[in-house]
Chain A
Amino acid sequence: MTTQNDWISVCSDDDLVLNSGVCALVNDKEVAIFKMKTGSEDKVFAVSNWDPFGKANVLYRGLVGSVDGAEVIIAPLYKQRYNLTTGQCLDDESVKLTVYPVRVEQDKVLLQSAG
């Protein structure tokens, strides 16, 4: 793993699955990474993989979709929905996922892991 201005390269673009999720281990933290086709461009999102309701590391295996135009991930165990941009749970306003800045550069998926 190489570090470059706090951006960590976690995997290649090939490792991502369009309109679905994968999981990466970054500094011993589990991060769920999603790639979605929205209109003509592909967007990539990264959030913590821990499901606060199901108490299991499973979020990357959820369905992705949209609610009122905003990209969401739907937890596979009990189907709570989370806004992928803000991490906010749409079914319980007191719950929020950690969101990690992420981008794809020259086929590398780069992630900023704060702390």
Chain B
Amino acid sequence: MSSSVNIGSAQKMRIVVVGNGMVGHHFVDQLIQENAADNDTQLEVVVLSAEPRLAYDRVHLSEYFSGKTADELALTTPEYYQEHNIQFELSAKVVNINKLAKSVTTESGDVFEYDKLVLSTGSYPFVPPIPGNDQPHCLVYRTIEDLEDISASAAVSKVGVVVGGGLLGLEAANALKEAGLQTHVVEFAPQLMAVQVDGGGGRLLRSKIEALGVQVHTQKATQSIEAGDTCRYKMCFADGEVLETDMILFSAGIRPSDALAREFDLEIGERGGIVIDDQCLTSDKDIYAIGECALWNNFIYGLVAPGYTMARAAASHIVGGDLTFQGADMSTKLKLMGVEVGSIGDAHARTEGALCYTYENQPEEVYKKIVVDAEGKKLLGSVLIGDTSDYDTLLQYALNDIELPEKPESLILPAGAGDAPGLGADALPDTATICSCHNVSKGDIIEAVDQGACDVGSVKGCTKAATGCGGCAALLKSVVDSELEKRGVEVKKDICEHFAYSRQELFHLVKVGSIKSFDELVEKHGQGLGCEICKPAVGSIMASVWNDFILKPDHVSLQDTNDTYLGNMQKDGTYSIIPRIPGGEITPEKLIVIGEVGRDYKLYTKITGGQRIDLFGAKVEQLPEIWEKLINAGFETGHAYAKSLRTVKSCVGSTWCRYGVQDSVGQAIDLENRYKGLRAPHKIKFAVSGCTRECAEAQSKDIGVIATENGWNLYVCGNGGMKPRHADLFATDLDDETLVKYIDRVLMFYVRTADRLQRTSVWMENLEGGLEYLKQVVIEDSLGLGEELEAQMQNVVDTYQCEWKTAIENEQSRKRFRRFVNSDKSDLNIVFVEERDQIRPATEEEKKKLQAQSIEDADQLATEVV
């Protein structure tokens, strides 16, 4: 495949990008934005990737072992590239650069000409030259193909060793642990993460990781890998000791993939890496290098954020912009196997005259150190193990040269010990980076607010801040709130004119004040008679807290029409009826009953998306009679009309399916029966899948449960519908009891704290601290609320009643379904016509026609009688 270059009137510049890793893709994305912008530059982009798929998220690679698929790790899709006219070739390794002809050639012989060439070839894992390192179960950890190999090897192994105790090595160890192996880490240096963490932090990190069941061996130089006695292999160390293992994973650092550049005479650093300048240009003025293959100022940046900055600098230079690469901050905050680790700047206090403050709390396993300059004015670096809550504040001090407080130690001492000044949003300069994933500064946020964004959501929307790793969400909120306050915008949370409180506040007022009716609440805390906003909200809160029969005289006037009549009102005033079918499992007998009811009452029947059956066209006065029949046949209300648990969808699971690993139907039925009747700020949907094939689509649900070999993975806060959101993986390999405990806590916390009509997905997006915070509350019980939330849920479970059963047994409630208080007639405006052998509401036109017809018929009849 060869193409010629058009230079001339069209002014098309052709850019060939070699490599489609995270950085390569980010670069392409910059060009797409450039093309979308309204300007004269027209760019033609060709992507050549040696890998068989487009860019994916290598940072979260270990999640492949906790159930994420290759598709979920993907950062882009072929459709996206096609849509933006990005030509791409997969499995197309470039083997030749012709700098004179300005073209590259792939392994299969295809030639691509370029105006500008961008090398984004990344790096490859360094495998130490140890005899025996080329055996079948000696692997590396970088690509999805590597993961597939590791999976396959793990399936036939019991013990696994990771060689390398750095950041990537620990990630890899996590992957082996997730795969169920007895895991060891072997490190040449005296400590783990020697680059980012000091000796003191390293000791604590080691003990925490060992407590998780991973054995750590430091100061070990592997000399050979031989056949094992109890395992497949035996690693022999220089000190004479040996370690038996079935597989070995090398993660001893990366080396830049610079072979191509080396072969075709681009300047290469002494220890590898393609030399680049501030524009990311190599020694050839038409060739750029970005990411881990590039060497800037004699340094290779092995993190994704600096790679992104290089991508932006190169893209900017190509289109004549002035963005440059000026080095990057290597500070990092992450969670390794659940252990929080933070490292900022000069963590080892190597700057001349640097002074350290250290705080260590052995019982709670927390280590914090800050490094300050000789004058004690500036923060140079920090190490945080076990608790990274101070990271954001410390990083802002370090990056913006903010003057330290008089007693710098107050920044890391526990609250109460010092004056612990939180760094307010106002203390930051406009240049301070708030979101490093998307490079959003405080100034960008101020600009967004000036242009009319007046809440966190809209600022996120127009700046992309806090939409990457989300780590800056809390900081973003405080900047936005502070800016709004400065502009005199009152951040109002009142639910409506009748209550000057948010839903969460109303919830507390009801609970703490033991308030049991709307009248009492409005008398004590509100005004007026209520409205369509506060009444259903209070009705829902009362139901969540006290779980009374919702049609009790005290509550009936609060319910929206669907709740009042326990059905879903359709456009013509008729109702639809959905009996509960837990887990979607139903006997033929029950199906027949539904069929008979549908036939006898001439209802339109349709299968819903939640694995149950909807019966449409029931008149209000028919509802009690229809429900009497359904209840006699063993059905219960499906709460389809309520803001409450709807359905727990399931696949057929291990009982029948040859791939299933757990009984998903049984689990779904148990969960549905537990949470049916739980009233919430909005509807709640669950699903349970019996294996990772995920046929029940659990990741699009508020609560998703996916079976694993060892138990259940729990996903939370997903959504389909108008604004789809993939659920977040919350916890893995849970037993039944823990699964229920976590769901109890998550749901009740949601019920307590969400706004009215806020689905779990939006609640999560707005929850300060996001997923991590929710995990702390639920798993670590950081608020000490766990048992209370469970008890409250248990109360809801214990007081469950089928509302339809109570309604038809109660004469007073049954009376409400009379169509007229003074007549047995029906609503004449309800008219059906037939379509596809079933009824549907007549249109206005059809009604007019039918009326005219009936008058004519009546006339004719009258004539005949006469």
Contacts and interface: CB of A to CB of B under 8 A. Distances in A.
Contact of B535 (A16, A63, A71): A63
Q: A11, A65, A72, A76: which has the most chain B beta carbons within 10 Å?
A: A65
B235 to A, nearest CB: 71
Q: B497, B519, B532, B569: which has the most chain A beta carbons within 10 Å?
A: B532
A38 interface: yes
A25 B820 contact: yes
Contact of B829 (A18, A20, A56, A76): A56
Given A11-B821, A54-B571, A63-B561, A17 B531 contact: no
B393 interface: no
Nearest to A78: B571
A interface, size bucket: 35 or more
B564 interface: yes
A74 B829 contact: no
Interface in A48-70: 54-58, 61-69
Interface in B501-544: 519, 528-532, 535-536
A36 interface: yes
Q: B560, B816, B818, B821: which has the most chain A beta carbons within 10 Å?
A: B821
Interface in A77-101: 77, 79, 81
A69 B531 contact: no
A91 to B, nearest CB: 12
B709 interface: no
Q: B530, B531, B565, B819: which has the most chain A beta carbons within 10 Å?
A: B531
B569 A65 contact: no
B531 A23 contact: no
A76 B561 contact: yes
Nearest to B528: A66
A104 interface: no
Given A55-B844, A65-B528, A71-B529, A77 B569 contact: yes
Given A17-B556, A77-B569, A66 B561 contact: no
A20 B553 CA distance: 10
B849 to A, nearest CB: 16
SS of A interface (majority)? strand
Interface string A21-37: 01111100010010011
B interface, size bucket: 20 to 34
A68 B560 CA distance: 21
B557 interface: yes
B419 interface: no
Given A25-B820, A65-B535, A74-B532, A18 B553 contact: yes
Contacts, number: 97
Contacts of B529: 19, 36, 38, 64-66, 71
A64 B571 CA distance: 20
B819 A19 contact: no
Interface in B530-583: 530-532, 535-536, 553, 556-557, 560-561, 564-565, 569, 571-573
Contact of A79 (B519, B532, B822, B844): B532
B823 interface: yes
Contacts of B819: 23
Contact of A23 (B556, B572, B821): B821
A111 B162 CA distance: 86
Contacts of B557: 17-20, 63-64
B820 A76 contact: no
Contacts of B519: 37
Nearest to B534: A65
Given A20-B564, A57-B573, A63 B556 contact: no
B825 A63 contact: no
B827 interface: yes
A71 B519 CA distance: 15
A6 interface: no
Contacts of A25: 820, 822-823, 825
A69 B822 CA distance: 31
B532 A65 contact: yes
A10 B822 contact: yes
Interface string B311-333: 00000000000000000000000
A76 B574 CA distance: 12
B559 to A, nearest CB: 8
Given A61-B561, A65-B535, A76-B560, A15 B572 contact: no
B531 A65 contact: yes
A71 B557 CA distance: 14
A63 B571 contact: no
A15 B825 CA distance: 17
Contact of A24 (B553, B822, B829): B822
B845 to A, nearest CB: 12
Nearest to B574: A56
B573 A56 contact: yes
Contacts of A76: 560-561, 569
Nearest to B559: A63
A47 B35 CA distance: 60
Contacts of A55: 844
A62 B822 contact: no
A98 to B, nearest CB: 16
Contact of B531 (A20, A54, A61, A67): A67
A65 B573 contact: no
A41 B571 CA distance: 35
A50 B356 CA distance: 77
Contact of B573 (A26, A58, A67, A72): A58
A16 B816 CA distance: 9
Q: B564, B818, B825: which has the most chain A beta carbons within 10 Å?
A: B564
A31 B382 CA distance: 74
Contacts of A71: 529
A65 B538 CA distance: 13
A59 to B, nearest CB: 10
Given A20-B557, A22-B821, A25-B822, A63 B532 contact: yes
Given A16-B821, A77-B569, 8 more contacts: A19-B557, A24-B820, A56-B572, A63-B530, A63-B560, A67-B497, A76-B560, A77-B573
19 contacts: A11-B821, A15-B821, A17-B557, A20-B557, A24-B821, A24-B823, A25-B823, A38-B529, A55-B844, A56-B573, A61-B561, A61-B573, A61-B620, A63-B531, A63-B536, A63-B557, A63-B561, A65-B498, A69-B528
Interface of B: 497-498, 519, 528-532, 535-536, 553, 556-557, 560-561, 564-565, 569, 571-573, 620, 816, 818-823, 825, 827, 829, 844
Interface of A: 1, 10-11, 15-20, 22-26, 30, 33, 36-38, 54-58, 61-69, 71-72, 74, 76-77, 79, 81
The 5 closest A-B pairs by CB, nearest first: A19-B557, A76-B561, A66-B529, A65-B531, A56-B573
